[in-house]
Amino acid sequence: MNVIKKIALFLVVSIACGTMLFGQTIVDVEWKGLKRTKQNFVAQFVKQTIDQPFDSIAYQKDIQTIRNLNLFYQVESEVIDSLDGVKIQYRVKESLSILPIINFGGISENFWFQLGAIDHNFVGMGAKLAGYYRYYDRHSFHVFYQMPFLPGSKWGISSSVLHLATVEPIFFSEGTTDFNYDNWVVELLPRYNFNYRHFIEWGGAFLREKYQATNIDEVPMGVNPEFGLNKGLVKIAHQLDRIDYLDFYRSGWSSVSGIESVYTPVYKDFFWKIQWTGRYFKRIGKTGNLAFRIRSGIAENEDTPFPPFVLDSYINIRGAGNRVNRGSGELVVNSEYRQTILDLSVGAIQLVGFTDIGGWRLAGQSWKTLRDTKVFFSGIGARIIIKPIYRLVLRLDYGVHWFRPKERGFVFGLGQYF
């Protein structure tokens, strides 16, 4: 009974204090703990500012907004009442935002790795600058720069240069032939921000693709063993993010959709692709987190050995293998339950159970081929989370096919799978 009385007293006092503060003028907003992050950058996202009446609901939303920026691993705040009005004080601890990029995996004796570095808070304005080298059968590299919020503007911009080099299995009626695939991409994308988590971006890219058969004797008659193409790409993408972050836990949903078209001058041909990815997260008690992702896509259904959607452990189905199948359409559902078993001030450990299900429309064929290409994998994994470092999650998953248990494999990486 004493416990109930204490809780009731606490609620009454809290409501009374909130009522006394509500409507008072905000005379100062103070930030403590900012190091690299510019104060004018982070301050633009909060609604409770100087000379405005204090609103406790808006204040709580501002605290969550600061967490959602993902620049700080600890956010605390205090409202200080004075004779002149209300003073808001934010105390933050910045995440280490300059990180190495280390990613690797091994499926069915096929090993790949990725090395580089990324700054998630370049010039203290939430910009991203990254560069990495990747070996995935062959040598690739990518340099990327993104300034989501240009100072004093709702506009942003991103640009990148990519050289992607892989060995791609190309499927012909006579059999499968491996081609060395090289793709140079130079891209520029302006964006417009409706708010800090809702934007639309568009732009274009120049592409130079080259295919060369690894073994000319395996190339079917009538197929050129080596050819190159120049292409132009235009795209538009829309993102709406309603995911709230509390440490490494997530709740809410997000939607990312995109349309792109590639024009090949030599063939006077347009190729189009539409893709949508949805994510949903729900907290289960204090230490559990449900997570779901849906990936869907459709492209021009040409009878081509180069359809755009791929079945791959690294991208969508853990344990399936590297570039096992391709299609002109895809439907993939990923689900996870993440259970925290250790949570300390410096880090945490999660155990994960997952199921990945997907199917692909084969190029030039109907959606009925989803039944022939469908795959079902489940497995377990672990996450090691280092809190002071920006979104640093060490990931290990082991997936097994439901009906063909010999199809299995480990997937390593940095960051949550989705």
Claim to verify: residue 90 and residue 114 sit in the same structural domain: no
Q: Tell me what pLDDT residue 234 has.
A: 97
Q: Tell me what pLDDT residue 10 has.
A: 47
Q: In whole angstroms, what is the distance from residue 156 CA to residue 147 CA?
A: 6
Q: Tell me what pLDDT residue 144 has.
A: 97
Claim to verify: residue 151 and residue 172 sit in the same structural domain: yes
Domain boundary among 74, 94, 114: 94
Claim to verify: residue 129 and residue 272 sit in the same structural domain: yes
Q: What is the DSSP letter of 36?
A: S
Claim to verify: residue 164 and residue 115 sit in the same structural domain: yes
At 30, list the tokens: 């103070």
* Percent of the chain at pLDDT exceeding 70: 93
Q: What backbone phi and psi angles, to 5 degrees, belong to 266?
A: -65, -30
Element of type H or E holding 57: helix 56-68
Q: Tell me what pLDDT residue 202 has.
A: 97
Q: Is the pLDDT score of 357 beyond 70?
A: yes
- Tell me if the pTM is above 0.95: no
Q: Is the pLDDT score of 74 beyond 50?
A: yes
Claim to verify: residue 44 and residue 190 sit in the same structural domain: no
Q: Tell me what pLDDT residue 12 has.
A: 47
Claim to verify: residue 275 and residue 358 sit in the same structural domain: yes
Q: In whole angstroms, what is the distance from residue 216 CA to residue 211 CA?
A: 12
What are residue 105's DSSP bridge partners? 112
Claim to verify: residue 19 and residue 104 sit in the same structural domain: no
Counting Cα atoms < 13 Å in the Cβ hemisphere of 58 gives: 14
At 52, list the tokens: 């405005």
Q: In whole angstroms, what is the distance from residue 383 CA to residue 354 CA?
A: 13
Q: Give the range of the structural domain holding residue 6, as residue numbers without chain letter.
A: 2-94
Q: In whole angstroms, what is the distance from residue 416 CA to residue 388 CA?
A: 16
Comparing 6-20, 305-319, 375-389, the range with the smallest average pLDDT is 6-20
Q: Tell me what pLDDT residue 137 has.
A: 80
Claim to verify: residue 116 and residue 240 sit in the same structural domain: yes
The pLDDT tens digits for 264-293 are 998 888 899 999 999 999 999 999 999 999
Residues 6+ apart with CB under 8 A from 30: 87, 88, 89, 90
Claim to verify: residue 282 and residue 341 sit in the same structural domain: yes
Contacts by 130-139, CB closer than 8 A, 24 or more apart: 130/101, 132/101, 134/103, 136/112, 136/166, 136/322, 137/110, 137/112, 137/165, 137/166, 137/167, 138/165, 138/166, 138/167, 138/180, 139/165
The pLDDT tens digits for 180-212 are 999 999 999 999 999 999 999 999 999 999 999
Q: In whole angstroms, what is the distance from residue 153 CA to residue 51 CA?
A: 22
Q: How confident is the model at residue 46 (pLDDT cuts 50, 70, 90)?
A: very high
Which CATH number characterizes residue 42's domain? 3.10.20.310
pLDDT mean across residues, the chain: 90
Domain boundary among 30, 63, 94: 94
Claim to verify: residue 280 and residue 152 sit in the same structural domain: yes
What is the pLDDT averaged over residues 297-313?
89
Comparing 17-26, 124-133, 335-344, the range with the smallest average pLDDT is 17-26
Q: Are the C-beta atoms of 113 and 95 separated by less than 8 Å? A: no
The pLDDT tens digits for 90-135 are 999 999 999 888 777 655 556 778 899 999 999 999 999 999 999 9
Q: Tell me what pLDDT residue 284 has.
A: 97
Burial of 82 (0-12, 13-18, 19+ CB in 10 A): exposed
| Number of domains present in the structure of the chain | 2
Claim to verify: residue 164 and residue 235 sit in the same structural domain: yes
Q: Is the pLDDT score of 1 beyond 70?
A: no
Which CATH number characterizes residue 391's domain? 2.40.160.50
Q: Is the pLDDT score of 47 beyond 60?
A: yes
Claim to verify: residue 351 and residue 306 sit in the same structural domain: yes
What is the pLDDT averaged over residues 142-153?
94
Domain boundary among 94, 121, 156: 94
